[in-house]
């Protein structure tokens, strides 16, 4: 019985280590993906950010005659 209890305890500890490592990896993966997304957006926008006061919107309407 003691050997069975030790085996179950080892599996529980192993499972806790795996879950903890996955949680840590998720944090680093999220930061990496966020950085890559920002890098891509900066290359498209030439590094500029959205500024509402300097954005001009023109409205074109077409009328059928």
The tokens of 42 are what? 């900066």
pLDDT in tens, 14-57: 999 999 999 999 988 988 888 888 787 777 766 666 666 766 76
Q: What is the DSSP letter of 48?
A: -
pTM: 0.49
Over 90: is that where the pLDDT of 63 sits? no
d(CA 14, CA 9): 9
Question: Residue 1's pLDDT is what?
Answer: 65
Residue 64 φ/ψ, nearest 5 degrees: -85, 135
């Amino acid at each position: 019985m003691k050997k069975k209890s030790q085996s179950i305890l080892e599996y529980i500890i192993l499972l806790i280590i795996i879950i903890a490592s996955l949680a840590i990896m998720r944090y680093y993966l999220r930061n990496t993906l966020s950085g890559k997304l920002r890098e891509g957006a900066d290359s498209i926008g030439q590094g500029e950010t959205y500024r509402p006061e300097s954005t001009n919107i023109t409205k074109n309407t077409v009328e059928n005659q």
